[in-house]
Structure 1
Amino acid sequence: MESEHQDLATEFPELAARISTLRVNHPHFAKRLAEFDALTAEIEHIERNDAASGSSSLEEMKKQRLALKDELYRILQSES
């Protein structure tokens, strides 16, 4: 089952400018955002190709992505 693309700026359009600023000026945020983007690409690749779409490893990856998104959102809120 294919899901919608999970881009942080799409998820939080009201914070798009802040995301761009932190990507450049906040090394930890930039690193975690790169991890989020890479994990999203990997999940989307698996889902597109139906490889192990119901596997526990895919579910674990989705949980990891959600944890990253939560962390990124907390940084966005604290750095405002």
Structure 2
Amino acid sequence: MSHVPHELHEEFPDKTDQLHQLKVSNAHFAKLADEYHSVNREIHRIESEVEPASDEALENLKKQRLHLKDEIAALLAAA
């Protein structure tokens, strides 16, 4: 189990400028990025045993993070 947060700039290292540009120019993208960050931090707290959660809750959060990442990747590809 990884206790390293999956930040967007680490997930898309070749797209850091594009990430920033979309965050400031596209409200939908900014909302997705904020939601990704929130879910990602919650996963990190659970994996680091700072916050308790069931395995099912953790798996649901991971699925949500993956879905958000897929949406973000699609917007990055389209930009």
What residue is the counterpart of 1:42 in the other structure?
42
Secondary structure of 1:49's partner?
A: coil
What residue is the counterpart of 1:18 in the other structure?
18
Q: Aligned partners of 2:2 and 2:49: how far apart in 1?
A: 9
Task: Return the offset for 1:2.
Answer: 4.0
* Structure-to-structure mapping, 1:1-80, within 5 angstroms: 1-49=1-49, 51-52=52-53, 55-79=55-79
TM-score, length-scaled by structure 2: 0.90
Secondary structure of 1:60's partner?
A: helix
Task: Return the offset for 1:47.
Answer: 1.0
Using the TM superposition, name which of 2-11 and 31-40 deviates more.
2-11
TM-score, length-scaled by structure 1: 0.89
Task: Return the offset for 1:77.
Answer: 0.6
Q: Deviations over 1:4-50 (max 9, x none)?
A: 21011111111000000000000000000000000000110111116
Task: Return the offset for 1:3.
Answer: 2.9
Q: Aligned partners of 1:2 and 1:68: how far apart in 2?
A: 19
Number of residues of Structure 1 aligned to a counterpart in Structure 2: 78
